[in-house]
């Protein structure tokens, strides 16, 4: 992979062609035309200043050549007195003012009561891979800094910083990370994901009709109900493997909003960032408000390539623990005891599971909820983060030592942002929870939200986590978060107090809480560089690129039913890398009362970071042997699954047959995971046509189940892709896996 182009600050690179032009991520200013080109991988994003001094979107599509320029930006003329130019000109960062009624990126109230803004170009600077364009209002002392960072994987990050350069206080009511204009007016298909507890990452694709689609979270965190990802393709052209796709996702774990808008005048736009719901930020003199990063990409390789770009990007640029210039290491096979024991356990019952987990091939043993305080069920204990002597009379050390002796490292569950009213912490610090005066707090799962925006709560949280990790040999934390917000009051917010409440000042809790969460995790990881973390929120309630910069993996869903999981994982991989997708094999009957064979459960969980959550003490010898065989096979394909190129060959949505394929970046190994939900009419399993192989190479077939593969031992890549692989899957819930190793 070529390195980023590092442009020297203050040096205009245009029109000289340099080695930078060939690099995969560059920023190319064209000062004469007042245009900027952000080249990332195979795409270019461009904007320019029009004759009115407004920054206007110019281009978002396939990469333009190093000499390419665009016609000088020009505003769209007024169409009618009720269709002003300000509304139809594709402004790069539209503020509310001058008759602009499309979805705005910025709305503020100025200290003198002026509620409009008219942003004009001020200046631009390029620092390495990042372009900064500054806009300023015609009369108010307010500047908007727009940032564009180019990544070689074919992604740009866009975000903004709103700066008060005056002496009064601005009230910011809406501050988006970015607004973008799609190139054509009509003919789009819009995809997004919604969800619920035990049903996350459900894909929707609909024609983009005139109007707005709002995806958002108001829950305080990323949310189970929607995920901050989108993709837009062309209805007549885009498929899984071909056609244009514009896509993106936010890096923010608090309230967010992503609006996709098509207008009657054939314009299509997307605006994303902080949610405007209950939002307010008092921007004092000299202060800035920085918005979350909005990561954007374009491909003409269909939805599959859009996912592969995001996966490469997350592996190379987002996930923590990347070795210098390289990738994070593949995830270990986790055993998690939650589904086996819930909170009803002792150290001995955990060790009985640990012994079996090691035999089944697990590499990490995780004790879930219930190890601390008076935590025998979910009514008590959250907040009291000491090891309960009732379950661990000698503390955690003997248990951890034993887990190590089985050849696994050790992890433990925490839920730092929550407290049970029945806890010593709450009894000592009732003022530490989110609250409004004289109003009863709403409990969910018998717990309340700690107000992490408070500096004292932040310090307490860092300190106990640091102590826990320092005093015990803990390799991994599963960081959980099991309720949504309510009564989001903060009467100790800067600018507010019980005596002089200031509702606007208290609304900063939405942003400050998330920033402080990030700060605690960052400090913890800096102090304990080997510590790994999983983000969980009753399943996939906190999956976004903000948390993934700080956590190594996520728990996509509490639903571990193999069939449901196939659909959830299908959606998940559109936005997120398989490396981060933890999937456990659990017991049957499942949540859906479904009986699914052990192998099917394993082959579904092998689609990402394989884990086990079944009660292995109840597995028969045959099931234990099969588990060991399957984990051993997984270890031979793990790097390709987690860090390779994913091809969703056949979607499980509404189909009896489905397959996923992974190809290592150098095409030396490929893996096919194949499923038959139910056979009908005695039909034969269709040949599986592979993708992404080297057509000229020969591949040796290594079948997990030799009796389910029909064909030669060594097969040309062209044949595997053209004629396909014949698998013998039959009956209900049959599954298998085939690895292909390049031999020449």
Least distance from C-beta 69 to ligand DGJ, angstroms? Answer: 52
DSSP string for 127-147: EBTEEEEEEEESSSSEEEEEE
Least distance from C-beta 463 to ligand DGJ, angstroms? Answer: 23
Identify the three-state secondary structure at position 157.
Answer: strand
Q: Enter the DSSP assignment of 8.
A: P
| Cβ-proximal residues to 413 (8 Å cutoff; 6+ apart), any chain | 338, 366, 367, 368, 369, 371, 477, 478, 480
Least distance from C-beta 515 to ligand DGJ, angstroms? Answer: 24
Comparison of 560 and 640: residue with beta carbon closer to ligand DGJ: 560
Comparison of 92 and 369: residue with beta carbon closer to ligand DGJ: 369
Least distance from C-beta 413 to ligand DGJ, angstroms? Answer: 6
Q: Output the furthest CA–CA distance in the chain (Å, rounded).
A: 81
522 tagged catalytic: no
How far, in Å, CA of 579 to CA of 674, rounded? 19
Least distance from C-beta 339 to ligand DGJ, angstroms? Answer: 8
Q: Of the residues 480, 544, 561, 564, which is catalytic?
A: 480
Identify the three-state secondary structure at position 636.
Answer: helix
480 tagged catalytic: yes
How far, in Å, CA of 583 to CA of 557, rounded? 9
Comparison of 369 and 657: residue with beta carbon closer to ligand DGJ: 369
Contact set with ligand DGJ (CB under 6 A): 338, 368-369, 413, 480, 482, 536, 538-539, 555, 558
Is residue 306 within 8 A of residue 179, CB to CB? The reply is: no
Least distance from C-beta 7 to ligand DGJ, angstroms? Answer: 45
Is residue 417 within 8 A of residue 369, CB to CB? The reply is: no
Comparison of 555 and 619: residue with beta carbon closer to ligand DGJ: 555
Q: Of the residues 129, 369, 384, 558, which is catalytic?
A: 558
How far, in Å, CA of 735 to CA of 180, rounded? 43
Helix ranges restricted to H, 42-200? 85-88
Closest CA to 560 of 520, 512, 602, 528: 602
Distances (CA, A) of 487 to 216, 447, 596: 19, 13, 43
How far, in Å, CA of 724 to CA of 238, rounded? 23
Comparison of 199 and 273: residue with beta carbon closer to ligand DGJ: 199
Least distance from C-beta 369 to ligand DGJ, angstroms? Answer: 4
- Tokens in use for 546? 């903000």
Least distance from C-beta 336 to ligand DGJ, angstroms? Answer: 7
How far, in Å, CA of 557 to CA of 667, rounded? 31
How far, in Å, CA of 418 to CA of 384, rounded? 10
Identify the three-state secondary structure at position 324.
Answer: coil
Comparison of 89 and 420: residue with beta carbon closer to ligand DGJ: 420
**Shortest-Cβ-distance residue relative to ligand DGJ:** 369
Comparison of 295 and 476: residue with beta carbon closer to ligand DGJ: 476
Cα three-residue angle 172-178-180, rounded to 5 degrees: 135
- Tokens in use for 273? 């960032």
- Tokens in use for 548? 């993934």
Comparison of 370 and 575: residue with beta carbon closer to ligand DGJ: 370
Residues annotated as catalytic (active site), given as ranges = 480, 558
């Amino acid at each position: 992979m070529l390195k980023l182009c590092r442009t020297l600050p203050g040096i205009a690179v245009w029109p000289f062609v340099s080695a930078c032009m060939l690099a995969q991520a560059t920023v190319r200013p064209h000062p004469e035309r007042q245009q900027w080109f952000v080249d990332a991988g195979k795409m270019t994003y461009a904007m320019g200043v029009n004759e009115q001094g407004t920054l206007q979107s110019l281009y978002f599509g396939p990469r333009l050549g190093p000499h390419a320029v665009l016609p000088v930006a020009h505003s769209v003329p007024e169409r009618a007195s009720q269709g002003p130019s300000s509304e139809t000109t594709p402004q790069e960062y539209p503020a509310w003012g001058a008759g602009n009624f499309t979805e705005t990126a910025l709305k503020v109230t100025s200290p003198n009561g002026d509620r409009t803004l008219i942003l004009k170009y001020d200046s631009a600077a390029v620092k390495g891979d990042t372009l900064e364009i500054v806009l300023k209002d015609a009369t108010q002392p307010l500047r908007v800094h727009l940032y564009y960072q180019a990544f070689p994987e074919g992604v740009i990050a866009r975000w903004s910083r709103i700066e008060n350069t005056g002496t009064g206080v601005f009230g910011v009511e809406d501050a988006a990370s970015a607004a973008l204009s799609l190139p054509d007016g009509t003919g789009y298909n819009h995809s997004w994901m919604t969800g619920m507890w035990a049903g996350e990452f459900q894909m929707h694709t609909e024609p983009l009709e005139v109007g707005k689609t709002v995806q958002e979270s108001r829950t305080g965190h990323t949310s189970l109900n929607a995920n901050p990802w989108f993709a837009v393709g062309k209805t007549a052209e885009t498929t899984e493997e071909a056609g244009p796709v514009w896509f993106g996702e936010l890096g923010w774990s608090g309230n967010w909003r992503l609006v996709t808008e098509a207008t009657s005048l054939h314009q299509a736009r997307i605006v994303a960032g902080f949610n405007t719901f209950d939002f307010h930020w008092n921007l004092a003199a000299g202060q800035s408000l920085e918005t979350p990063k909005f990561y954007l990409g374009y491909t003409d390789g269909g939805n599959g390539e859009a996912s592969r770009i995001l996966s490469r990007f997350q592996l190379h640029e987002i996930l923590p623990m990347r070795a210098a210039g390289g990738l994070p290491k593949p995830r270990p096979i986790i055993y998690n005891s939650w589904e086996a024991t819930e909170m009803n356990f002792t150290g001995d019952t955990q060790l009985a599971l640990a012994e079996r987990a090691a035999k089944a091939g697990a590499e990490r043993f995780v004790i879930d909820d219930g190890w601390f305080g008076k935590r025998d069920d979910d009514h008590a204990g959250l907040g009291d983060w000491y090891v309960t002597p009732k379950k661990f009379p000698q503390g955690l050390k003997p248990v951890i030592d034993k887990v190590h002796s089985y050849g696994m490292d050790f992890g433990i569950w925490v839920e730092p942002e929550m407290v049970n009213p029945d806890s010593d912490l709450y009894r000592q610090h009732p003022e530490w929870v989110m609250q409004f005066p004289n109003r009863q707090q709403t409990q969910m799962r018998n717990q309340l939200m700690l107000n992490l925006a408070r500096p004292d709560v932040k310090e307490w949280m860092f300190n106990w986590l640091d102590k826990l990790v320092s005093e015990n040999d803990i390799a991994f934390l599963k960081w959980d978060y099991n309720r949504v917000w309510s009564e989001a009051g903060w009467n100790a917010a800067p600018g507010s107090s019980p005596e002089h409440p200031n509702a606007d000042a208290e609304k900063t809790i939405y942003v400050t809480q998330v920033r402080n969460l990030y700060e605690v995790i960052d400090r913890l990881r800096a102090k304990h560089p080997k510590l790994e973390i999983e983000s969980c929120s009753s399943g996939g309630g906190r999956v976004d690129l903000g948390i993934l910069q700080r956590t190594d993996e996520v728990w996509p869903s509490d639903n571990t039913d193999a069939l449901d999981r196939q659909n959830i994982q299908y959606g998940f991989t559109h936005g997120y890398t398989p490396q981060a997708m933890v999937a456990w094999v659990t017991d049957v009957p499942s949540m859906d009362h479904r009986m699914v064979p052990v192998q099917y459960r394993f082959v579904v969980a092998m689609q990402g970071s394989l884990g086990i959550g079944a009660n292995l003490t109840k597995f028969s010898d045959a099931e234990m042997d099969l588990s060991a065989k399957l984990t051993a096979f997984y270890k031979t394909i793990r790097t390709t699954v987690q860090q390779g190129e994913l091809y969703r060959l056949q979607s499980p949505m509404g189909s009896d047959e489905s397959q996923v394929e992974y190809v290592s970046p150098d095409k030396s190994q490929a893996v096919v995971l194949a499923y038959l939900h139910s056979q009908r009419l005695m039909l034969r399993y269709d040949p599986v046509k592979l993708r992404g192989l080297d057509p000229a190479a020969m591949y040796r077939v290594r079948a997990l189940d030799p009796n389910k593969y029909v064909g030669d031992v060594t097969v040309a890549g062209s044949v595997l892709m053209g004629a396909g692989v014949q698998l013998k899957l039959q009956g209900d819930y049959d599954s298998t896996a085939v690895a292909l190793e390049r031999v020449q």
